Amino acid sequence: MIGVGNALRSDDAVGLVVARRLHGRLPSGVDVLEREGEPTSLIDAWDGTEAVWVIDAVSSGAAPGTIHRVDAGNQPVPAAFARGSTHHFGLPEAVELARAVGRLPERFVVYGVEGARFDTGAEMSPAVAAAADDVAAAIREEVLACTNER
């Protein structure tokens, strides 16, 4: 599981927050990582794994706190997911690059939480903070089902 974000940019921290909520709550052998979104770091983090869940903030125009789930093993990550990102090269591009070079795990799930604000230094908006709890619970359930530890 990889939480992507920037802790200093409001709602962009949601991926990191979810990762922190899942530390110690997933089966042994399941890594929980935090990344700022640099594409080679992301690709290296998931390379050689069987299953990956990634969480990041998105800005697609939906209401703040809206949770999007994409099975990126079978379909592209919408380009709109990169719009709110403070990363130079977005998650959708990193996923497609990994797919093109044969480094995308077969099971690859992306959770995007619709952000409201991405300004420097502010706390996450209430809707995004609430969604972080829901995403953490959903990812935990999916990981447990995938590892047969439910």
Q: 110-119 pLDDT, tens per residue? A: 999 999 999 8
Q: Sheet containing 33-35: which strands, arranged edge to edge?
A: 33-35, 2-4, 51-58, 107-114, 67-71
User: Mind listing the pLDDT tens digit for each residue in 62-93?
Assistant: 999 999 999 999 898 887 776 444 445 678 88
CA-CA distances (angstroms) from residue 97 to 17, 46, 103?
Answer: 26, 13, 8
pLDDT recorded at residue 122: 72
Q: What are phi and psi of 107, to 5 degrees?
A: -100, 110
Quickly count: other Cβ atoms within 10 Å of residue 14's Cβ: 29
Of residues 81 and 140, which shows the higher confidence score?
A: 140
% of the chain exceeding 90 in pLDDT: 72
Does pLDDT of 16 surpass 60?
yes
pLDDT recorded at residue 82: 66
pLDDT recorded at residue 22: 98
* Domains in the chain: ranges and CATH: 2-146 (3.40.50.1450)
Cβ(7)–Cβ(16) under 8 Å?
yes
Three-state DSSP at 12 gives helix
Mean pLDDT, rounded, of the chain? 90
pLDDT recorded at residue 38: 82
Confidence grade of residue 148 (pLDDT, cut at 50, 70, 90): confident
